[in-house]
Structure 1
């Protein structure tokens, strides 16, 4: 059975205390509420970004269609004005004048149809602008929420990392002073995911909180003070003093 001075064994409790604080800080760091906010917000931003692109594309398409229609209306209007001027001048025979009058009437009908289409496009554009403004506002709000969460996360990270730095430095200094065999045993237990060292508190192991039976307690009590004894339930190194 490995042996170590009882005073040296007691230092394992301090080492376990460092590990407990380090584990708690690492758990806090990995489970900050802000991380969930950022993850959910980032996913929502991706959706909103796609919606925003679609809304912007629709507005752009309607603007392009409106410009094209406006140009066509201007062309029809200009043609009608030229025909009206020719008709008013009377330059031409009766057949030409009659054809001009028919064309002016046709252009007027065409202009009316185009202007109705332009009005419809204007209404579609207003609807599209409203939809784009709504998704932009939602995108801006989500962006601000994520940015604020990132600031809080970074503040918490800085605080926790400073705490971890102090705890790890203290742990390293303490571990360096332990006998290699004792330190190796402690690390093997710790790396298995268990509490590596704990106080034997009366008849109870403070690591697993289980009361040991009389036979086990008798064997532990009979062991020399420099023996390294372990909890028969959880395997933690038991500090008896």
Structure 2
């Protein structure tokens, strides 16, 4: 295949723009923030499960306090009724029984109040644990929100770079002869496509060519399209090629 040195040199622009497009595509598909966002989502899920347990514990204690309060109210009502009956009775036996029951109710109320204080202390600790867990979740949400926004911005920036590279590549490709462009694109499916031969080294695979290979390449005409014996890409030759 024949192509002018100037046309072959355009292939290096295609290589550069194709690399930019691949980089932009990769950045668009997988922004740097994506992995951390996924970690945060998993962490938030675990924290939410823990929060559910803490809320259940708090709710159980609140229910226990409600039951104790109800029991205290029952004891108070019964003690008040017994006190009223004691004041109205003239029977020594009935009075003795009522006094005994009132004493029992007082002990029961004391036990309930002790349990109530203990439950209130546990409730305070449970509420603190819930608040701490909610604070952790809020921190995770804040970081996740910030990274998600940064990721969206990175995707938009990558799309902008991709659009620019695609536009510039189309402009360069339009200047490359059709047969040379087709050869480059076919080779680019399995090789770097093209590379500048600089100081005896292929710019595509970065391998230094042997003396015999360089001799063959050096004997080729300037408009011959030659390929790298190592990777198969088109070798673009200039005065810096060392031939």
TM-score by length of 2: 0.88
Give 1:166's match in structure 2, choosing from 161, 164, 167. Answer: 164
CA-CA distance at 1:177 after TM superposition: 5.2
Deviation string for 1:43-73 (max 9, x for gaps)? 2212211111111111111111111111111
Give 1:191's match in structure 2, choosing from 185, 189, 192. Answer: 189
3-state DSSP of counterpart to 2:207: coil
**Equivalent residue runs for 1:1-241 within 5 Å:** 2-29=1-28, 32-90=31-89, 93-175=91-173, 178-192=176-190, 194-241=191-238
3-state DSSP of counterpart to 1:238: strand
3-state DSSP of counterpart to 1:207: coil
Q: Distance in 2 between matches of 1:28 and 1:68?
A: 59
Q: Distance in 1 between matches of 2:187 and 2:87?
A: 107
Q: Distance in 2 between matches of 1:74 and 1:180?
A: 96
CA-CA distance at 1:9 after TM superposition: 2.3
TM-score by length of 1: 0.88
Q: Distance in 1 between matches of 2:192 and 2:49?
A: 49
CA-CA distance at 1:144 after TM superposition: 0.8
Unaligned runs of 5+ in 1: none
Q: Distance in 1 between matches of 2:45 and 2:186?
A: 45
CA-CA distance at 1:197 after TM superposition: 0.7
Q: Distance in 1 between matches of 2:236 and 2:105?
A: 103
Q: Which moved more, 1:30-39 or 1:105-114?
A: 30-39
Q: Distance in 2 between matches of 1:144 and 1:199?
A: 48
CA-CA distance at 1:181 after TM superposition: 4.2
CA-CA distance at 1:123 after TM superposition: 1.1
Q: Distance in 1 between matches of 2:42 and 2:163?
A: 33
